[in-house]
Amino acid sequence: MNAPLAKLKFLACQDIDRKAGEVRLKFISAASGQQRVYERKRAEAAALVADPQSMPGNFLFAEAQRTGRSAMEVAQAILAAVCREDLAAPFIEAERVGGKRDVRLANSPEAVAAALASSLAALEAATD
pLDDT at 32: 85
Q: Quick check: 48 and 60 in contact, CB under 8 A?
A: yes
Does this model's pTM top 0.85? My answer is no
pLDDT, tens digit, for every residue of 17-26? 999 999 999 9
**What's the rounded Cα separation, in Å, for the pair 76 and 84?**
12
Phi, psi of 51 (to 5 degrees): -135, 85
> What is the rounded CA–CA span in Å between residue 19 and residue 4?
22
- Confidence (pLDDT) at 28: 86
pLDDT at 50: 97
Domain range enclosing 9: 3-125
* Sites in the chain below the pLDDT cut of 70: 1
Spatial separation of the C-alpha atoms in residues 125 and 50, rounded to whole Å:
34
Q: How many domains does the chain fold into?
A: 1
